[in-house]
């Protein structure tokens, strides 16, 4: 494996970048217990987006891990998860946003959010806010109870935990270090990203 | 309540229509055990779409029922569920599509699908295939096991079961009578729709 790029994503920030078909994206939680939101779009068709609905449908599970494929809304494989040292991630929740902090947290003032960080970092690639789909929320520990209720617990990731994904087409990728204290055991921390081939 | 419009959606077909803020949409399963996919877009901003991710997030459950609000990607309330005689619906699965029948069912030839029926019936309103989000799948009986695996069972709806939703903004709405035999206890059946105020 040759290192092509390396990004350090500071707490409550994000990055946007192009990822070539066949290259490997590794998302690392350097300190542990930190969520990273991942979205992707086709380079050929920017209106093609990572689809939780298709990925969950074709995998027949809400917990996608090693061996599972992340599909686009057009049913195109976008990523294959080739290695996962944690095994529990969320694919149900929208990116946190100022509206979420207001509706669920009663926070009327400014709060950094994954949605803002995705839009800011993906706009140079022609992606607008209304195009942001439900992210694959790496390391987010959301359990569905038999009643349907969702319970958020601290991520199961430990310092150095990672998920490795192979790009199946040329992609525009957005990744954040999640801004919601409640999802990250109280403290928002950084995320590291590596691209290799 | 005054009846404004009434639609009979034949098995494996769909409809598209405008729905005015404050009007009530009732989706009825006339024969029982039949799924109806529901998607919606803003009339003011067609790029505003019904968001499973935001709706699940703000409701803190995957089973939305009476009293819950269905939100857009912009966190705007689109619908409030005012009455629900069934209480179990799915908000995880993408609309069935020719690709789904190929990937999961091994069907290479033509099969009617909710995705095709949504696109066909929403295109006169300026909605394209890439804009179709994960639908609110009324009456679809999908349970999440503790392992995360999803189990599909026959809908709990009986003849005449219905869900009543109030439009919270002016909407473009698409509804299908679901085309997947396996979700409808073996037989695809019609759906009835009423608009009242």
- Does the structure show a pLDDT above 90 at B140? yes
pLDDT at A170: 98
The verdict on residue B195 lying in a domain is no
The verdict on residue B97 lying in a domain is yes
pLDDT at B25: 98
**pLDDT band per the 50, 70, 90 thresholds, residue B51:** very high
Q: What is the mean pLDDT of chain B?
A: 97
What is the tens place of the pLDDT at every residue in B167-194? Answer: 999 999 999 999 999 999 999 999 999 9
The verdict on residue B28 lying in a domain is yes
Q: Where are the beta strands (DSSP E) in chain B?
A: 3-9, 14-19, 24-29, 36-42, 69-71, 77-84, 136-138, 141-144, 150-153, 161-167, 171-177, 191-196
Read off φ and ψ for residue B74, nearest 5 degrees: -90, 10
The verdict on residue B112 lying in a domain is yes
Collect all residues of chain B within an 8 Å Cβ-Cβ radius of residue A73: 94, 130, 132
* CB pair distance less than 8 Å for B57 and A148: no
Q: Per the structure block, which two tokens stand in for B84? A: 């629900």
Q: What is the mean pLDDT of residues B65-79?
A: 98
* CB pair distance less than 8 Å for B53 and A104: no
Contact residues, chain B to chain A, C-beta under 8 Å = 45, 47-49, 51-54, 56-58, 60-63, 73-75, 92-95, 97, 99-100, 103-104, 128-134, 144, 146-150
Q: How far apart are CA B98 and CA B88, in angstroms?
A: 26
pLDDT at A101: 96
Asked if B50 and B171 touch (Cβ cutoff 8 Å), the reply is no
Collect all residues of chain A within an 8 Å Cβ-Cβ radius of residue B134: 51-53, 134
The total of structural domains in chain B comes to: 1
The verdict on residue B8 lying in a domain is no
- Does the structure show a pLDDT above 90 at B1? no
Collect all residues of chain A within an 8 Å Cβ-Cβ radius of residue B44: none
pLDDT at A1: 84
State which residues of chain A have pLDDT below 70.
Answer: none
The distance from CA B22 to its chain's CA centroid, rounded to whole angstroms, is 19
**Whole domain around residue A46: which residue ranges?**
3-196
* CB pair distance less than 8 Å for B75 and A100: yes
The 10 Å CB-count burial string (b at 16+, else e) for B18-47 is ebeeebbbbbbbbbbbbbbbbbbbbbeebe
Task: Identify the CA nearest to A173 among candidates A133, A131, A122.
Answer: A122
* CB pair distance less than 8 Å for A130 and B61: no
Min distance A9 CA to chain B CA atoms (Å): 24
Collect all residues of chain A within an 8 Å Cβ-Cβ radius of residue B149: 60-61
Asked if B58 and B154 touch (Cβ cutoff 8 Å), the reply is no
The verdict on residue B193 lying in a domain is no
Q: How far apart are CA A167 and CA A183, in angstroms?
A: 27
């Amino acid at each position: 494996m040759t290192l092509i790029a390396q990004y350090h994503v500071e707490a409550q920030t994000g990055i946007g970048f192009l990822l070539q078909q066949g290259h490997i994206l590794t998302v690392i939680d350097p300190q542990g217990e930190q969520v990273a939101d991942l979205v992707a779009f086709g380079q050929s068709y920017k209106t093609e987006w990572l689809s939780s609905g298709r990925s969950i449908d074709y995998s027949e599970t809400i917990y996608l891990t090693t061996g599972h494929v992340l599909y686009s809304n057009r049913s195109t494989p976008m990523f294959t998860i080739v290695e996962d040292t944690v095994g529990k991630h969320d694919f149900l929740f929208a990116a946190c946003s100022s509206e979420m902090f207001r509706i669920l947290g009663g926070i009327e003032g400014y709060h950094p959010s994954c949605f803002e960080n995705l839009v800011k970092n993906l706009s140079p690639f022609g992606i607008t806010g209304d195009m942001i789909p439900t992210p694959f929320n790496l390391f987010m520990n959301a359990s569905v109870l038999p009643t349907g209720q969702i319970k958020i617990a601290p991520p199961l990731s430990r310092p150095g935990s990672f998920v490795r994904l192979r790009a199946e087409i040329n992609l525009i990728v957005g990744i954040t270090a999640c801004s919601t204290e409640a999802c990250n055991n109280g403290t928002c921390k950084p995320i590291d990203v590596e691209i290799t081939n």
